Structure 1
Amino acid sequence: MTIKEYMTQNHKECDELLAQVESEVANKNWDKAIELNDLFKNETLKHFDMEESYLFPMFEERASTGGCGPTQVMRMEHDQARTVFPKLEESLKEKDSDRYFGLTESLMILIQQHNLKEEQMLYTMIQNLFNDENETIIEALKNYEFN
Protein backbone atom coordinates (compact mmCIF):
# COMPACT_ATOMS: atom_id res chain seq x y z
CA MET A 1 0.00 0.00 0.00
CA THR A 2 1.23 3.49 -0.81
CA ILE A 3 0.87 6.68 1.23
CA LYS A 4 -1.61 7.93 -1.35
CA GLU A 5 -3.67 4.72 -1.14
CA TYR A 6 -3.63 4.74 2.66
CA MET A 7 -4.81 8.33 2.93
CA THR A 8 -7.42 7.87 0.20
CA GLN A 9 -8.77 4.82 2.02
CA ASN A 10 -8.96 6.90 5.20
CA HIS A 11 -11.10 9.45 3.31
CA LYS A 12 -13.47 6.65 2.29
CA GLU A 13 -13.73 5.36 5.85
CA CYS A 14 -14.73 8.82 7.08
CA ASP A 15 -17.30 9.14 4.28
CA GLU A 16 -18.77 5.76 5.22
CA LEU A 17 -19.12 6.85 8.85
CA LEU A 18 -21.04 9.95 7.78
CA ALA A 19 -23.35 7.81 5.63
CA GLN A 20 -24.05 5.64 8.68
CA VAL A 21 -24.91 8.71 10.77
CA GLU A 22 -27.23 9.97 8.05
CA SER A 23 -28.98 6.60 7.96
CA GLU A 24 -29.57 6.70 11.71
CA VAL A 25 -30.88 10.28 11.49
CA ALA A 26 -33.26 9.26 8.67
CA ASN A 27 -34.55 6.47 10.91
CA LYS A 28 -34.80 8.84 13.90
CA ASN A 29 -32.36 6.70 15.92
CA TRP A 30 -31.01 9.77 17.69
CA ASP A 31 -28.84 8.07 20.33
CA LYS A 32 -27.11 5.90 17.71
CA ALA A 33 -26.78 8.93 15.41
CA ILE A 34 -25.07 10.92 18.18
CA GLU A 35 -22.73 8.02 18.93
CA LEU A 36 -21.78 7.54 15.28
CA ASN A 37 -21.47 11.30 14.72
CA ASP A 38 -18.93 11.45 17.55
CA LEU A 39 -16.98 8.66 15.84
CA PHE A 40 -17.22 10.43 12.46
CA LYS A 41 -16.02 13.70 14.00
CA ASN A 42 -13.12 12.05 15.85
CA GLU A 43 -11.96 10.06 12.81
CA THR A 44 -12.17 13.13 10.56
CA LEU A 45 -10.30 15.30 13.06
CA LYS A 46 -7.68 12.55 13.43
CA HIS A 47 -7.27 12.51 9.65
CA PHE A 48 -6.85 16.30 9.59
CA ASP A 49 -4.31 16.07 12.42
CA MET A 50 -2.31 13.32 10.67
CA GLU A 51 -1.98 15.64 7.72
CA GLU A 52 -1.40 18.92 9.58
CA SER A 53 0.98 17.57 12.22
CA TYR A 54 2.78 14.86 10.28
CA LEU A 55 2.43 14.71 6.48
CA PHE A 56 2.17 18.40 5.63
CA PRO A 57 5.23 19.51 7.64
CA MET A 58 7.34 16.74 6.04
CA PHE A 59 6.12 17.75 2.61
CA GLU A 60 6.66 21.47 3.24
CA GLU A 61 10.22 20.86 4.40
CA ARG A 62 11.21 18.57 1.54
CA ALA A 63 9.39 20.62 -1.12
CA SER A 64 10.59 23.91 0.41
CA THR A 65 7.11 25.46 0.33
CA GLY A 66 7.46 27.33 3.61
CA GLY A 67 3.88 26.39 4.53
CA CYS A 68 2.45 28.04 1.45
CA GLY A 69 0.91 26.45 -1.58
CA PRO A 70 -1.32 23.38 -1.49
CA THR A 71 -0.96 22.62 2.20
CA GLN A 72 -2.02 26.14 3.12
CA VAL A 73 -5.24 25.69 1.14
CA MET A 74 -5.84 22.25 2.69
CA ARG A 75 -5.44 23.66 6.22
CA MET A 76 -7.91 26.42 5.43
CA GLU A 77 -10.44 23.87 4.19
CA HIS A 78 -9.89 21.74 7.30
CA ASP A 79 -10.71 24.82 9.39
CA GLN A 80 -13.90 25.37 7.38
CA ALA A 81 -14.97 21.77 7.99
CA ARG A 82 -14.19 22.03 11.71
CA THR A 83 -16.74 24.85 12.09
CA VAL A 84 -19.53 22.49 11.01
CA PHE A 85 -19.04 19.84 13.72
CA PRO A 86 -20.58 21.81 16.62
CA LYS A 87 -23.57 22.62 14.40
CA LEU A 88 -24.02 18.95 13.54
CA GLU A 89 -23.92 18.04 17.23
CA GLU A 90 -26.44 20.74 18.05
CA SER A 91 -28.86 19.61 15.33
CA LEU A 92 -28.66 16.03 16.61
CA LYS A 93 -29.31 17.07 20.21
CA GLU A 94 -32.32 19.06 18.98
CA LYS A 95 -33.45 16.10 16.84
CA ASP A 96 -33.61 18.43 13.86
CA SER A 97 -33.09 16.15 10.87
CA ASP A 98 -33.75 18.91 8.31
CA ARG A 99 -30.97 21.05 9.73
CA TYR A 100 -28.68 18.04 10.08
CA PHE A 101 -29.12 17.02 6.44
CA GLY A 102 -28.63 20.61 5.28
CA LEU A 103 -25.37 20.80 7.20
CA THR A 104 -24.11 17.43 5.99
CA GLU A 105 -24.92 18.34 2.40
CA SER A 106 -22.76 21.46 2.69
CA LEU A 107 -20.03 19.54 4.52
CA MET A 108 -19.97 16.79 1.91
CA ILE A 109 -19.60 19.28 -0.94
CA LEU A 110 -16.63 20.85 0.88
CA ILE A 111 -15.09 17.50 1.82
CA GLN A 112 -15.52 15.90 -1.61
CA GLN A 113 -13.88 18.83 -3.37
CA HIS A 114 -11.16 18.91 -0.73
CA ASN A 115 -10.50 15.16 -0.94
CA LEU A 116 -10.32 15.29 -4.73
CA LYS A 117 -7.57 17.91 -4.56
CA GLU A 118 -5.64 15.90 -2.00
CA GLU A 119 -6.04 12.58 -3.80
CA GLN A 120 -5.27 13.85 -7.28
CA MET A 121 -2.63 16.43 -6.50
CA LEU A 122 -1.19 16.63 -3.00
CA TYR A 123 -0.97 12.91 -2.15
CA THR A 124 0.65 12.28 -5.52
CA MET A 125 3.25 14.96 -4.77
CA ILE A 126 3.85 13.52 -1.29
CA GLN A 127 4.11 10.00 -2.72
CA ASN A 128 6.66 11.12 -5.29
CA LEU A 129 8.79 12.92 -2.69
CA PHE A 130 8.68 10.12 -0.10
CA ASN A 131 8.35 6.97 -2.20
CA ASP A 132 11.63 5.62 -0.78
CA GLU A 133 10.22 6.03 2.76
CA ASN A 134 6.75 4.67 1.97
CA GLU A 135 6.73 1.75 4.44
CA THR A 136 8.02 3.83 7.35
CA ILE A 137 5.46 6.57 6.74
CA ILE A 138 2.58 4.11 6.37
CA GLU A 139 3.58 2.49 9.66
CA ALA A 140 3.65 5.90 11.36
CA LEU A 141 0.21 6.74 9.96
CA LYS A 142 -1.24 3.41 11.11
CA ASN A 143 0.09 4.02 14.63
CA TYR A 144 -0.81 7.71 14.73
CA GLU A 145 -2.26 8.78 18.07
CA PHE A 146 -4.81 11.56 18.25
CA ASN A 147 -6.26 13.00 21.43
Structure 2
Amino acid sequence: MDTIQDFFTADHRECDYRLADLESAIADGDWEAADTGFREFHHDMERHLQREETLLFPAIETVSGSAMGPTEVMRREHDQMRALMDEIRIAKDQRDENTTLGVIETLMTMIQLHNVKEEQILYPMADRFLQTQRGGLMARVKALEP
Protein backbone atom coordinates (compact mmCIF):
# COMPACT_ATOMS: atom_id res chain seq x y z
CA MET A 1 0.00 0.00 0.00
CA ASP A 2 1.25 3.48 -0.86
CA THR A 3 2.11 5.71 2.04
CA ILE A 4 0.74 9.22 1.92
CA GLN A 5 4.33 10.44 1.74
CA ASP A 6 5.23 8.24 -1.25
CA PHE A 7 2.07 8.94 -3.23
CA PHE A 8 1.97 12.71 -2.81
CA THR A 9 5.74 13.10 -3.30
CA ALA A 10 5.46 11.21 -6.61
CA ASP A 11 2.50 13.44 -7.51
CA HIS A 12 4.69 16.49 -6.82
CA ARG A 13 7.36 15.17 -9.19
CA GLU A 14 4.80 14.61 -11.98
CA CYS A 15 3.59 18.19 -11.65
CA ASP A 16 7.21 19.41 -11.64
CA TYR A 17 7.91 17.52 -14.89
CA ARG A 18 4.79 19.01 -16.52
CA LEU A 19 5.86 22.53 -15.55
CA ALA A 20 9.40 21.94 -16.85
CA ASP A 21 7.93 20.69 -20.15
CA LEU A 22 5.81 23.84 -20.39
CA GLU A 23 8.84 26.02 -19.70
CA SER A 24 10.84 24.23 -22.42
CA ALA A 25 8.07 24.66 -24.98
CA ILE A 26 7.87 28.38 -24.30
CA ALA A 27 11.64 28.81 -24.36
CA ASP A 28 11.65 27.03 -27.73
CA GLY A 29 8.93 29.35 -29.03
CA ASP A 30 6.61 26.38 -29.64
CA TRP A 31 3.33 27.97 -28.63
CA GLU A 32 1.21 25.02 -29.76
CA ALA A 33 3.20 22.73 -27.47
CA ALA A 34 2.96 25.40 -24.76
CA ASP A 35 -0.83 25.42 -25.03
CA THR A 36 -0.94 21.64 -24.67
CA GLY A 37 1.70 21.70 -21.95
CA PHE A 38 -0.20 24.28 -19.95
CA ARG A 39 -3.45 22.28 -20.16
CA GLU A 40 -1.65 19.14 -18.96
CA PHE A 41 0.21 20.95 -16.18
CA HIS A 42 -2.88 22.81 -15.02
CA HIS A 43 -4.94 19.59 -14.96
CA ASP A 44 -2.33 17.65 -12.98
CA MET A 45 -1.65 20.52 -10.60
CA GLU A 46 -5.32 21.20 -9.92
CA ARG A 47 -5.95 17.48 -9.34
CA HIS A 48 -3.08 17.44 -6.84
CA LEU A 49 -4.35 20.53 -5.01
CA GLN A 50 -7.90 19.13 -4.92
CA ARG A 51 -6.65 15.79 -3.54
CA GLU A 52 -5.05 17.66 -0.68
CA GLU A 53 -7.78 20.23 -0.05
CA THR A 54 -10.82 17.97 -0.28
CA LEU A 55 -9.44 14.72 1.17
CA LEU A 56 -6.04 14.86 2.86
CA PHE A 57 -6.31 18.16 4.72
CA PRO A 58 -9.81 17.49 6.13
CA ALA A 59 -8.63 14.06 7.35
CA ILE A 60 -5.63 15.67 9.09
CA GLU A 61 -7.85 18.39 10.57
CA THR A 62 -10.33 15.82 11.90
CA VAL A 63 -7.61 13.88 13.69
CA SER A 64 -5.81 16.98 14.97
CA GLY A 65 -9.03 18.75 15.94
CA SER A 66 -7.94 21.96 14.24
CA ALA A 67 -8.16 23.58 10.82
CA MET A 68 -5.42 25.98 11.84
CA GLY A 69 -1.74 25.25 11.52
CA PRO A 70 -0.02 23.51 8.62
CA THR A 71 -3.11 22.86 6.51
CA GLU A 72 -4.17 26.50 6.71
CA VAL A 73 -0.72 27.61 5.53
CA MET A 74 -0.78 25.08 2.68
CA ARG A 75 -4.21 26.27 1.52
CA ARG A 76 -3.02 29.88 1.40
CA GLU A 77 -0.02 28.82 -0.65
CA HIS A 78 -2.29 26.83 -2.98
CA ASP A 79 -4.27 30.02 -3.60
CA GLN A 80 -1.06 31.87 -4.43
CA MET A 81 -0.05 29.10 -6.84
CA ARG A 82 -3.43 29.25 -8.56
CA ALA A 83 -3.03 33.01 -9.03
CA LEU A 84 0.39 32.43 -10.63
CA MET A 85 -1.06 29.73 -12.90
CA ASP A 86 -3.65 32.28 -14.05
CA GLU A 87 -0.85 34.77 -14.78
CA ILE A 88 1.00 32.11 -16.79
CA ARG A 89 -2.12 31.33 -18.81
CA ILE A 90 -2.73 34.99 -19.61
CA ALA A 91 0.89 35.70 -20.58
CA LYS A 92 1.06 32.49 -22.62
CA ASP A 93 -2.17 33.32 -24.44
CA GLN A 94 -0.67 36.72 -25.29
CA ARG A 95 2.46 34.91 -26.54
CA ASP A 96 4.56 36.99 -24.14
CA GLU A 97 7.61 34.79 -23.74
CA ASN A 98 9.51 36.90 -21.20
CA THR A 99 6.56 37.39 -18.86
CA THR A 100 5.48 33.77 -19.15
CA LEU A 101 8.96 32.47 -18.36
CA GLY A 102 9.32 34.91 -15.47
CA VAL A 103 6.06 33.84 -13.86
CA ILE A 104 6.94 30.17 -14.41
CA GLU A 105 10.22 30.76 -12.57
CA THR A 106 8.34 32.38 -9.69
CA LEU A 107 5.87 29.49 -9.58
CA MET A 108 8.66 26.90 -9.70
CA THR A 109 10.37 28.53 -6.73
CA MET A 110 7.13 28.71 -4.76
CA ILE A 111 6.28 25.09 -5.55
CA GLN A 112 9.70 23.86 -4.45
CA LEU A 113 9.49 25.71 -1.12
CA HIS A 114 5.93 24.48 -0.62
CA ASN A 115 6.80 20.87 -1.48
CA VAL A 116 9.63 20.78 1.05
CA LYS A 117 7.19 21.72 3.83
CA GLU A 118 4.68 19.10 2.75
CA GLU A 119 7.23 16.35 2.15
CA GLN A 120 9.23 16.93 5.35
CA ILE A 121 6.45 17.88 7.76
CA LEU A 122 2.88 17.39 6.58
CA TYR A 123 3.03 14.02 4.81
CA PRO A 124 5.04 12.21 7.50
CA MET A 125 2.63 13.62 10.09
CA ALA A 126 -0.33 12.44 7.99
CA ASP A 127 1.14 8.94 7.67
CA ARG A 128 1.46 8.75 11.47
CA PHE A 129 -1.91 10.27 12.38
CA LEU A 130 -3.96 8.61 9.63
CA GLN A 131 -2.39 5.16 9.77
CA THR A 132 -5.67 3.32 10.47
CA GLN A 133 -7.60 5.17 7.74
CA ARG A 134 -4.84 5.36 5.14
CA GLY A 135 -6.18 2.59 2.87
CA GLY A 136 -9.62 4.14 2.42
CA LEU A 137 -8.24 7.66 2.18
CA MET A 138 -5.72 6.72 -0.49
CA ALA A 139 -8.39 4.89 -2.53
CA ARG A 140 -10.48 8.09 -2.55
CA VAL A 141 -7.41 10.23 -3.34
CA LYS A 142 -6.49 8.07 -6.35
CA ALA A 143 -10.07 8.15 -7.66
CA LEU A 144 -10.39 11.96 -7.53
CA GLU A 145 -10.44 13.83 -10.84
CA PRO A 146 -11.00 17.59 -11.05
TM-score range, shorter chain: over 0.9
- For the residues of structure 2 that align with 1:93 and 1:60, how far apart are their CA atoms? 38
- For the residues of structure 1 that align with 2:130 and 2:102, how far apart are their CA atoms? 39
Superposition TM-score, scaled by structure 2 size = 0.95
Matching of residues 1-147 of structure 1 within 5 Å: 1-65=2-66, 67-146=67-146
Does the Cα contact within 8 Å between 1:4 and 1:127 map onto a contact in 2? yes
Gaps of 5+ in 2: none
Counterpart residue identity of residue 121, structure 2:
M
Q: Deviations over 1:76-103 (max 9, x none)?
A: 0001111112211111122111111110
The SS at the match of 2:95 is: coil
Gaps of 5+ in 1: none
**RMSD over equivalenced CA pairs, Å:** 1.0
Percent of aligned positions with the same letter in both sequences?
35
Corresponding pairs, count: 145
Structure 1 position 18, deviation (Å): 0.4
Structure 1 position 16, deviation (Å): 0.2
Q: Deviations over 1:12-59 (max 9, x none)?
A: 000000011111111111011011101111211111111111110111
Q: Which moved more, 1:31-40 or 1:126-135?
A: 126-135
- For the residues of structure 1 that align with 2:39 and 2:101, how far apart are their CA atoms? 16
Does the Cα contact within 8 Å between 1:24 and 1:33 map onto a contact in 2? yes
